[in-house]
Amino acid sequence: MRAWIYVARKVLHAVLTLAFVLVFNFFLFRVMPSDPVKLLTRTSSAELSEAQQRELLHDYGLDEPIFPGQFLDYVGDVLRGDLGISFLFPGESVMEIFLRNLWPTVLLVGLSTLFSTLIGIGTGIWSGWRRQSAFDLASTGVSLFLYAMPEFWLGMMLLIVFATTLGWFPTGGRISTVTGLSGVEHLVDVVNHLFLPCLTLTLAYVGEYHLIMRSSLLDVLGEDYVTTARAKGLREKVVLRRHAVRNALLPTITLIALNFGFVLGGAITVELVFSYQGLGLLTYEALTAKDYPLLQGLFLFFSAGVIVANLIADLLYGYLDPRVREA
Amino acid sequence: MRVAPTQAERPGPPGEAPSSPRSARAVAWARRRRALARFWAAYRRSAMGMAGLAMLCFFVGLAIFATFANDTGTNPALASGPVLHPPSLRYPFGTDRFGLSVLTLTIHGSKISLLVGLSATAITVVIGAVVGIVAGYRGGLVDVLLMRLTDFGLVIPWLALAIVLASILGPSLGTIIVVIGLTSWPGTARLVRAQTLSVKERPYVERARALGASPWHLVTRHILPNVFPVIFANTVLVVAVAILSETTLSFLGLGDPFSISWGSILESAFAAGAATIGAWWWLLAPGLAIVLVVLGFTMCGFALDEILNPRLRQR
Amino acid sequence: MGGTMAMRILRRGAAAVLGGLLAVGLVGTAAAQTPSPTSARKVTFVVGLTNDVRTFNPLKAIETPEYETLAVTYDTLLRWAPDDMSPMPGLATDWTRSSDGLTWTFTIRDDATWSDGEPLTAHDIAFTYRFIVDKGFSSLSNYLPFTDSFEAPDDTTLIWRTTKPTTAPLAPPWIYILPEHIWGGMTKKEAKQFENFPNTVGSGPFRLVEWKKGDFWRLEARDDYWGGAPHIDELIFRVFANDEAMVNALKAGEIDFAEAIPTDLFAALQGEPNIATHVGGAASFTQMSFNMCGDQAYCQKNPPNRHPAVTDRAVRLAIAHAIDKQALVDRVLRGFGTPGTTVIPPVYPWHYDPAPDELIDFDLDEANRILDEAGYRDTDGDGVREMPGGGRPLEFRFFVRTEDANSVSAGKLIAGWLEQIGIEVRPEAITDGKLIDQWYANDYDLYIWGWGVEPDPDFQLSTYTSDQCGVWSDTCYNNPEYDRLYLEQKTAPTREERMAIVHEMQRIIYRDIPEIVLYYDNDLQAYRKDRWTGFVEQPSDQGYLLFQFGNWSYLNVRPVSEAAGAARPRGIPPSVWGAIVVGIVIVIGAVALARRRVSEEERA
């Protein structure tokens, strides 16, 4: 029963945060200086009369007062899934463009997060347990190095070595041809293009997770109850498994979830470097084109992503730490 | 924390007659100097810390040198070298698409990269420390509100927010500094607040409050000095992140394309298709510089954290 | 308990992931070995670009991809000859002009058909022109000046009557003929909102069949095209997020033709096996514009925010002397361009080459002398000149475009030169959208932008007339003499007389310097020469292979041999997959060994 209360509390907290993001998102974009009507006017034709300009303003809902008119419209629209019409892809709704580019990014970020957390946590535990061993020194050194690297720089170097020079992988894009690839071939094509970006994102964060996990484990190993357990004569491995790791995982999970915002940022630059068509590259295009509706929708989505990641981490935390559940 | 010995109790150096009574301020300064010496001795023992410090000294030196050095080597109009040439004796890190030496560009790029990193860090730490101390000290509703704000700041994905802000403010170095500052302070705030809370509980603080000390006195004389080590360690780590952030933002074209920073060099390289052409040298020098500088700050920060963080000292 | 759980999760997760990788690896290796079946002997030609199409409505076309698609799906009254872009028969096979010059009679071919089977007749042409003029599509009606009437007394005759004599019908008008049976009866609003897709009906050699926004659009060849059936079955235009992706796709064989390749990428492509690089035509120019707002109505409503020195021709002349255009071509364009002079590029016969005594050359000393004489001196010794009498320093706001890397590079170089004549400019890179804002508000001193120029100079010349201020004029240049000449060339009775007027107009602009033409940049194109041949270059000297005025190449291009078929994606060589599999096995082995050692420890 208490578990459900915990879950409910966390979910409610996530929803509230999302609501704040919505409000923040709305007001943030009202500060924009560039007038979308002029942008549209110039590109479509230089012949819009005052009346036509007013009509355009009305179509985009820009002629109402900001509060409450535009704000309530905005909230209503978002709840209905209408995130506006893009400037960059005229006539297309933000939601459409969004959904088109969603799965490649989910695939990229999902897989790389999976790999980097599993590997990082694994090596971090090993490193912390065998402190000052050769493995520890090597892996921590490598982790520091990877942590210090801009992920897009890593991506570009990998691209030069493995794609441009060796030719093992395509030098960019999400898929090769637009027509004519069936089932298995299509899968292989996707994997071919996904490999380097995924490797880049994995390497970019695995170092950090290693360091976090290692540090967390070391903190725990220095705690009183661990000394107690050792004094009780429990075997090292049992000590590690039963107490240390579980407790060390808790703050690690929290920190990894908090880092998710950076992972999404990394996705933006890595997708750019590899011309991998997903939400990240879309964000860059929206930025250069100053497509505010699209930027607004993407911002909302990325924030929601981090909130969900934190929610998952909170729930995982609750599952792993009985103290929390019974609190 | 032991109560500091009074002047009468302090033993003088062997063989010396006991010195005449000194002012409270002199006592405090002497105490600080000794603490600093102790700190430095501990720091020197950390291999990671010393290595990091060495790297930082090198790059700061480089930046200072670059400030006074002639920058004609970065002017495309005066470029005389071969275009996109791989590393050679004359051009150890090759040339860019104008024929400028990448090494020269990287050296001059250190100025802006470090400057922006440090400025952004200043904003981050000031806001973070103020928020953290106020929240930790005042408690209650103020604390709750500030923490809600901080949590909110932590949840927002920084690059998305940075992009949005930069698209509104327009691309410039000022924008980058402000944007990094505004998106990074929550981490510092959380840390500072936690430390403030723990310091607040300490006996001498309670005693001071019972004696009727004003909040200002409490904060500046007691809380701040004890929170300062944590802030300091955190600041060093924040600089590392700020430099990485500047690199990313410049790479995305949100900085000033007419000033040279490591991020802008990478941006020019990417825009010219360096990865496709295979001009790896154009990417190498600025990338290495970033990695080494960030490593330097990170290693220093970790070393500082170990020394200044009491929990770790137990091991 | 939790720790064990965690370890178990970690281990299971890792195993699942590794297993998945293994599976994909094995499958991939297998797939890489088997050749992909060629799809039913269809010959497909894929063109890569970085600019996406926004609409297939001919009345709303603005950008290159739209025009190129129209060129293959519709027809014009006359066509532009491939060798010199002179007018040649298109839908019209023959024409005569009345003695008073006011009536043109065109004979329209009888074998043109629409893609839905209906025949194309003179009625469609008359309808299209009338529609444009009556409904007021101003950007297009510019090609139909002094209109009196358009008539089609029968299916194969078009009569075009004008109120003043004009050679506009022979320009030819860049208007694609619309089917009356689709567009007839629409209001202007309906016509503007008409999607024209799917079920696009056109008379051109290709028919639009598929459109995936942001990705590609696909056309199929029409065997019944009056100009002859194309040698390809399918034409695909594929959009890329950036130029690198496009060039990589060309190298990988995923596309057959790449358009508008940036300088550095192009330079690196030269010498690639299987790829032919083409330094294309330079029918465009990049210019640096000054804020010339005068007393036009638009300038009254939007008072210019600019440095007063910009209005002084002496200053502009000095600046013109301080720009080394050849250096710009060498350094910014890596040689793929020509130094600029007048606003009609040399690739067109209408171009005017300034006489040697008119030429404004790169001469810093001369620039300094002009400024000194005009009274702009550096009174406070800070290296920057001030207004005469020691007032405001000569510091100009200079905008370059983030979308154009060349303009950023050019900006850096120009700032360097101007510094040497005592003028300080700080280039600021802004987006096109922001630049448009500044331009609308007349809030700038200098900026860099560019134009693609049409074969007929009328439109380009019109942008310098005073009534185009706030519409198409880059600078709000205001010269009544120029305006007068513009109207004159529109009604010039013969081509020679028109040529003389057009030359004079270019000379005026070159002399008055409302803007400085920096360079004519070549359009850099490349294609897979191991697969394709038959491109028709237009014009024949330093012309364009695709993205021309017409569809000559699309009609002519064909595979080099029978074997050249559809593109196949590159894959990871089996050796690499093998290495990955071996690596995974090693990792699994290591983990298993480590666990065994640990449990031994445990038992000890």
> What pLDDT digit, counting tens, does each position of C258-272 carry?
998 988 889 888 888
Q: Are A61 and A98 members of one domain?
A: no
- Per-residue HEC secondary structure of B179-247 comes to HHHHHHHHHHHHHHHHHHHHHHCCHHHHHHHHCCCCHHHHHHHHHHHHHHHHHHHHHHHHHHHHHHHHH
The chain A residue lying nearest B150, using CA atoms, is A17
Q: How far is A183 from chain B (nearest CA, A)?
A: 29
What pLDDT was estimated at residue C567?
44
The chain B residue lying nearest C416, using CA atoms, is B77
What pLDDT was estimated at residue A254?
85
**Which strand (E) or helix (H) includes residue C330?**
helix C325-331
Nearest by CB: C331 against B76, B256, B278: B76
Separation CA C601–CA B110 (nearest Å): 51
Q: How far is CA C143 from the centre of its chain?
A: 20
**A264 at interface of B, judged by CB pairs closer than 8 A:** yes
> Which residues have CB under 8 Å from B294's CB, separation 6+?
A147, A148, A149, B240, B243, B244
What pLDDT was estimated at residue C113?
93
C208-C211-C216-C221 Cα dihedral, nearest 10 degrees: -20
- Per-residue HEC secondary structure of C430-458 comes to ECHHHHHHHHHCCCCCEEEEEEECCCCCH
Which of these ranges, C20-34, C66-80, C198-212, has the smallest mean pLDDT?
C20-34
Q: How far is A55 from chain C (nearest CA, A)?
A: 12
What pLDDT was estimated at residue B300?
92
**Do the beta carbons of residue B71 and residue B110 sit within 8 Å?**
no
Query: What's the whole-model pTM score?
Result: 0.83
Q: How far is CA C528 from the centre of its chain?
A: 21
Q: Which chains touch C (3 or more CB pairs under 8 A)?
A: A, B
What pLDDT was estimated at residue C395?
92
Q: Are A110 and A151 members of one domain?
A: yes
| Residue A286 maps to a domain | yes
Q: Are A74 and A98 members of one domain?
A: no
**B77 at interface of C, judged by CB pairs closer than 8 A:** yes
Which of these ranges, A40-44, A249-253, C506-510, has the smallest mean pLDDT?
A40-44
From chain B, pick out residues whose CB is under 8 angstroms from the CB of A310. 155
Mean pLDDT score of chain C: 86
Separation CA C576–CA C564 (nearest Å): 28
| Residue A85 maps to a domain | no
Instruction: Give the residue among C183, C192, C174 at the shortest CA–CA distance from C60.
Output: C192
What CATH number has the domain bearing residue A123?
1.10.3720.10
Segment 249-268 of chain B within 8 Å of chain C by CB: 253, 256-258
Tell me whether residues A289 and C433 touch, CB distance under 8 A: yes
What pLDDT was estimated at residue C340?
95
Does the structure show a pLDDT above 90 at C13? Answer: no
**Do the beta carbons of residue C579 and residue C10 sit within 8 Å?**
no
**Do the beta carbons of residue C250 and residue C268 sit within 8 Å?**
no
Number of other residues whose CB lies within 10 A of the CB of residue C548: 26
| Residue A86 maps to a domain | no
pLDDT in tens, B153-196: 888 888 988 888 887 777 788 889 998 998 899 989 998 998 88
A168 vs C6, more confident:
A168
What pLDDT was estimated at residue C403?
74
Q: Nearest 5 degrees, angle CA C490-CA C474-CA C140?
A: 45
| Residue A202 maps to a domain | yes
Q: How confident is the model at residue C324 (pLDDT cuts 50, 70, 90)?
A: very high
The chain C residue lying nearest A173, using CA atoms, is C245
Q: How confident is the model at residue B216 (pLDDT cuts 50, 70, 90)?
A: confident
Mean pLDDT score of chain B: 84
Q: Which chains touch A (3 or more CB pairs under 8 A)?
A: B, C
Q: Are A61 and A22 members of one domain?
A: yes
The order of strands in the sheet holding C234-239 is C206-212, C216-221, C234-239, C44-49, C257-258, C524-528, C275-279
Nearest by CB: B278 against A144, A160, A273: A160
pLDDT in tens, C349-371: 899 999 999 999 999 999 999 99
Q: Are A291 and A183 members of one domain?
A: yes
Q: Which chains touch B (3 or more CB pairs under 8 A)?
A: A, C
Question: Which of A79, A108, A140 is where one domain is finished?
Answer: A79
What pLDDT was estimated at residue C168?
85
Instruction: Give the residue among A165, A194, A187, A188 at the shortest CA–CA distance from A270.
Output: A194
Which of these ranges, A61-70, B249-258, C42-51, has the smallest mean pLDDT?
A61-70
Nearest by CB: A170 against C238, C402, C570: C570
Long-range contacts of A39-43 (CB under 8 A, 24+ apart): A39/A87, A39/A290, A39/C433, A39/C436, A39/C437, A40/A87, A40/A90, A42/C436, A42/C440, A43/C62
Report residue C41: phi and psi, to 5°. Answer: 55, 25
Segment 16-35 of chain A within 8 Å of chain B by CB: 17, 20-21, 24, 28-29, 31-33
Q: Are A126 and A202 members of one domain?
A: yes
Q: How many folded domains does chain A comprise?
A: 2
> Which residues have CB under 8 Å from C373's CB, separation 6+?
C314
Most confident of A31-35, B35-39, C132-136: C132-136
Q: How far is C76 from chain B (nearest CA, A)?
A: 38
Q: Are A154 and A294 members of one domain?
A: yes
Segment 265-294 of chain A within 8 Å of chain B by CB: 265, 268-269, 272-273, 283-284, 287-288, 290, 292
Record the tokens describing residue A127, joined without a space: 């490193």
Record the tokens describing residue C398, joined without a space: 């200079």
Question: Which of A48, A79, A110 is where one domain is finished?
Answer: A79
Please identify which residue in the block is written with the tokens 């950090």: A208
Does the structure show a pLDDT above 90 at C500? Answer: yes
The chain C residue lying nearest B277, using CA atoms, is C268
Record the tokens describing residue B90, joined without a space: 């004359």
| Residue A281 maps to a domain | yes
Tell me whether residues B273 and C244 touch, CB distance under 8 A: yes
What pLDDT was estimated at residue C579?
62
The order of strands in the sheet holding C395-401 is C337-339, C515-521, C284-290, C446-452, C395-401, C424-430
Q: Are A182 and A131 members of one domain?
A: yes
| Residue A28 maps to a domain | yes
Instruction: Give the residue among B164, B204, B163, B162 at the shortest CA–CA distance from B182.
Output: B162
pLDDT in tens, B47-59: 889 999 999 999 9
DSSP assignment, residue B13?
Answer: -
Nearest by CB: C566 against A97, A169, A180: A180
**B75 at interface of C, judged by CB pairs closer than 8 A:** yes
Percent of chain C at pLDDT > 70 equals 86
Paired strand residues for C212: C216
Q: How far is C590 from chain A (nearest CA, A)?
A: 13
Question: How far is the first Cα of chain C from the last one, in angstroms, to the nearest whole number?
Answer: 22
Q: Are A280 and A164 members of one domain?
A: yes
Segment 224-283 of chain A within 8 Å of chain C by CB: 235-238, 240-247, 249, 275, 277, 281
| Residue A215 maps to a domain | yes
Percent of chain C at pLDDT > 90 equals 52
Q: How far is A33 from chain B (nearest CA, A)?
A: 7
Tell me whether residues C27 and A245 touch, CB distance under 8 A: no
Q: How confident is the model at residue C230 (pLDDT cuts 50, 70, 90)?
A: very high
Range(s) of the domain holding residue A8: 2-79
Cα→Cα distances A200→A155, A172, A279, Å? 5, 13, 17
| Residue A100 maps to a domain | yes
Q: How far is CA C561 from the centre of its chain?
A: 31
Using the Cα atoms of residue C429, residue C434, residue C437 and residue C439 in order, give the sign of their dihedral.
positive
What pLDDT was estimated at residue C398?
93
pLDDT in tens, B134-144: 998 888 899 98
Q: What's the mean pLDDT in A273-297?
A: 86
Nearest by CB: A275 against C216, C245, C471: C245
**Do the beta carbons of residue A192 and residue C572 sit within 8 Å?**
yes
Separation CA C76–CA C87 (nearest Å): 11
Q: Are A161 and A55 members of one domain?
A: no
Percent of chain A at pLDDT > 90 equals 27
Report residue B279: phi and psi, to 5°. Answer: -85, 70
Which domains, ranges and CATH numbers included, belong to chain B? 39-66+84-313 (1.10.3720.10)
The chain A residue lying nearest B270, using CA atoms, is A273
Does the structure show a pLDDT above 50 at B218? Answer: yes
Instruction: Give the residue among B246, B263, B36, B284 at the shortest CA–CA distance from B158.
Output: B246
C482-C483-C486-C492 Cα dihedral, nearest 10 degrees: -100
C129 vs B258, more confident:
C129
Q: Are A186 and A237 members of one domain?
A: yes
Q: Are A115 and A152 members of one domain?
A: yes
pLDDT in tens, C552-601: 999 999 998 765 544 444 455 555 566 676 677 767 766 666 666 555 55
Instruction: Give the residue among B253, B243, B254, B255 at the shortest CA–CA distance from B287.
Output: B243
